[in-house]
Each structure stands twice: as structure tokens, then as C-alpha cells.
Amino acid sequence: MKNTVKITDGITWVGASDRRLALFENIFPLTDGVAYNAYIVRGEKIALLDTADSSVVHQYLENVESELDGREPDYLIINHMEPDHCSLVADLMARWPKMQAVGTAKVPTLIKQFFGADISDRFTAVTDGDSLDLGGRTLHFVTTPMVHWPEVMVTYDDRTKTLFSADAFGSFGAHHGGIFDVDHFKNPAFEGEARRYYTNIVGKYGPQVLAALKKASALDIEYICPLHGPVWHDKISWTLEKHAAWASYTPETRGALVVYGSMYGNTASVAARVAREIAEKSGCEVKLMDASGTDKSYLVSEAFRLSHIVFAAPTYNMGLYPPVREFIDDLEALWVRGRTAAVIENGSWSPASGKIMREKIAALKDFTLLEPTLTIRGASVDESAINAFCDAVAASLGA
């Protein structure tokens, strides 16, 4: 059954949602699937903008065929070469032998590497300032390397002021009642999923996203059509504002994320007490999360949102409890910076977690480490030490 949506004059969404996928990139848990957006733009000539993941190939092809109504598309615009959008490129080039492909210069090599197809004789490489006249409308191309692969570009339709933004402005989550931002905002989980997508998938490339936002600011934009998540129209200022914060690693909220690891519940118990006292003393939001029971993508998302992070972990195998170590490693890998941190260590006969956490935090960019470290010995902790620790974090939060 075809399932297409008209976005605006001559632009139609022809994508599909995968509601069965459990792990995006085989890493990140999906609770509500993911949308693979693709588009058709019609002038006198017809352009397809990106394709889709192989998991939705039948829906995608049905949508495209219904819109083409027997015509052959003239162009396939390849904004992004990651296989969740490009798995069908070689098939479509074979299906429509006159169709020309358009993308940045790196695209043919990537297609060859991933799909073994040589499209170089039907490919036009474009770069900043280049455009494509479809007859009645012109597509303009803007390179946005590393958002989030090196070959990425975005495409701007001057007739409708529509930006096809590749991965930028994307989100986890399938489409339900509609594909537009106002439809997705009816889901209370949407904002968190948009943040979790950005921070984990694109989060490492903040400087490149800022450069892309700068280029986009020169454009008059009425629609943003990403490859995942909703089509932006009514909430464009919301997504631009959020991406400016995320890309610059600016906390959205003054508050503390308390992430703990705990084998027998002792570190967890202290973390819970500390979380409550910091909240009481500071009046700020405090979020308490178990590093063992929570997928790291959620921890990372909250680390982007909040200004302070309290790390609490026991010593394990003379080292740092692995779930907390992996969380800090993720912060480093994603270049998270500029947070204020505090440490709760636990160890009995040979405590090591505090020293390791302090060293790892010192390696994170522009992190400020508060004193004192709070020390737990098994299940024993000094009341006055808890008070001093919470006072220090609360004071830093502005209490």
C-alpha cells in the first residue's frame, strides 16, 4: 500500500518507518523504531533525494513508483552515503538506466566500497555553490562534511525554501499519525529521543555541525527535511536552537546528573542520598541513573542536557567498575566538554576507582573537577563527608 505525504509544492515524502529494528547501528536501543525519510522533488525534471534502508525497500519502492506514475526520474541526489540511506542506489541506477546521480566527489568511491557498483559514468560531482536546474525550480548544494560522514552535503530548493538536511536535525522514532514536527511533538518522549539521536550519532562532530548551522543561517528556510525523524516546519526555531546548544556542548539546564555503578547496592544507596541532598540544597534538577541498568546512550543524552555530572563507582578488579568506565569513555569519544564533575569512590582493601575517575575526568576537555571526593568503604561513609560533598556540588550549582 503506498504511503506518501505531500510536504509542499512539488515535494513529496516517499520514505518508510522500520518498527522492528531493535538496535540502531546495532548499538543504540530503539523503543519506537526509526524513520528512513526520502523525498521526490518535481520540476519539469524529477529528482529523488536519497533512498532508504534495505529493511523498508518494498515500501520505499511502492511509494516512489506511485509518485512517478510510469515516468523515469532524471536525477538521484545523494546527500549521504551511509547504507541506511543508500542501500538501494545501485539497484535504482540499474532500474532507471537514464537516471543521473549527483553528490559530492567522495560518493562514487563509497558506493564502490559498499555495494561494488561503479556509477562514475553517470555521476556528477558537485560542491558548494553548484546547483541543478530542474525546470521551474533549482536545487542548490552545500557541503557539510562530517555531519556525519565526510561525503555529506545538504540540498536547498529555492522555490519552496526547503532544506534537505541529511542526518542533521534527525531523530530516533518511527512516524505515527504524521511526519511533521507538530505530529511528533504530540509524543512526550520525542524531545528526549531527538536529543539521544543527536548526541550519540552526531555528537562527536559539534564543530562541523556549527559550521553547517552557519551555512544554513544564510538561507531562508521554511521546511527542513532530514533523513530521520520529523519534517520540520512549525518548530524550526526549536530545532535550530537545540542544535546550536548541542553542537556547542552548552548545557540546556543547570542541574546534576548522578551516574552510579553499584554491585551490592551500597554505592547506589549513597548516590541516591547525595542526589536528594544536592536537589534540596541547590533547588536544581537532579537526575539519578544506574550505569549498569541504563543504556549508555541515555546517559550521554543527559550529560549533554545537564551542567554537572556526579560519577559514583566502586573499585573492580583493582580498577574502575566497567559500566562507569565505559560511560566516561563515551564522553571522551563524543568530545563532551565543559561540564562540572564530582566523584564518589568506593573501595575496601585497595580502593582505586576514585583515582582512575579523577584521571579520566582530567582528560575530558574543559571539565572542572570539584573537591572533595566522597569516599565510601564498602557500606561505610562518614555523614560529615556526605554533607561536605553535597554542599560543594550545590554551591557550584549556585545554591
Residues 101, 75 contacting (CB under 8 angstroms) = yes
Question: Quick one: which of 42, 196, 228, 360 contacts ligand FEO (CB under 6 A)?
Answer: 228
- Which one-letter DSSP state was computed for residue 54? G
By CB under 6 A, is residue 302 in contact with ligand FEO? no
Q: Burial, 117: exposed, middle or buried (Cβ in 10 Å; 0-12, 13-18, 19+)?
A: middle
Give min distance, CB of 262 to ligand FEO, in A: 35
x/- map, 26-55, ligand FEO, by CB under 6 A: ------------------------------
Query: Looking at beta carbons only, is 85 or 325 nearer to ligand FEO?
Result: 85
Query: Looking at beta carbons only, is 166 or 310 nearer to ligand FEO?
Result: 166
Taking contact as CB under 6 A, which single stretch among the options 81-89, 123-131, 245-253, 319-327 is the one that binds ligand FEO? Answer: 81-89
Taking contact as CB under 6 A, which single stretch among the options 76-84, 171-179, 192-200, 390-398 is the one that binds ligand FEO? Answer: 76-84
By CB under 6 A, is residue 196 in contact with ligand FEO? no
C-alpha cell at 107: 560518493
Question: Quick one: which of 67, 82, 151, 157 contacts ligand FEO (CB under 6 A)?
Answer: 82
Distance of alpha carbon 272 from alpha carbon 281, whole angstroms: 14
Q: Is the peptide bond before 372 cis (omega within 30 degrees of 0)?
A: yes
As a dihedral over the C-alpha atoms of residue 321, residue 324, residue 325, residue 327, rounded to 10 degrees, the angle is 160
Strands 39-42 and 162-166: unpaired
Closest C-alpha among 348, 360, 359 to residue 316? 348
Distance of alpha carbon 170 from alpha carbon 229, whole angstroms: 5
By CB under 6 A, is residue 148 in contact with ligand FEO? yes
Q: Which of residues 317-376 bind ligand FEO (CB under 6 A)?
A: none
Taking contact as CB under 6 A, which single stretch among the options 77-85, 99-107, 127-135, 266-274 is the one that binds ligand FEO? Answer: 77-85
Residues 77, 139 contacting (CB under 8 angstroms) = yes
C-alpha cell at 170: 534527525
Give min distance, CB of 207 to ligand FEO, in A: 17
How many residues bind to ligand FEO according to rule CB under 6 A?
Answer: 9
By CB under 6 A, is residue 167 in contact with ligand FEO? yes
Q: Which of residues 208-227 bind ligand FEO (CB under 6 A)?
A: 227
By CB under 6 A, is residue 84 in contact with ligand FEO? yes
Give min distance, CB of 198 to ligand FEO, in A: 12
Beta bridge mates, 377: 380
Taking contact as CB under 6 A, which single stretch among the options 15-23, 82-90, 238-246, 344-352 is the one that binds ligand FEO? Answer: 82-90
Closest C-alpha among 6, 234, 40 to residue 137? 40
C-alpha cell at 72: 523515469
SS3 190: helix
Tell me which residue has its CB nearest to ligand FEO. 82
Residues 315, 255 contacting (CB under 8 angstroms) = no
Give min distance, CB of 151 to ligand FEO, in A: 10
Taking contact as CB under 6 A, which single stretch among the options 80-88, 209-217, 231-239, 270-278 is the one that binds ligand FEO? Answer: 80-88
Distance of alpha carbon 258 from alpha carbon 288, whole angstroms: 5
Distance of alpha carbon 53 from alpha carbon 87, whole angstroms: 6
Where does this chain bind ligand FEO (CB under 6 A)?
80, 82, 84-85, 148-149, 167, 227-228
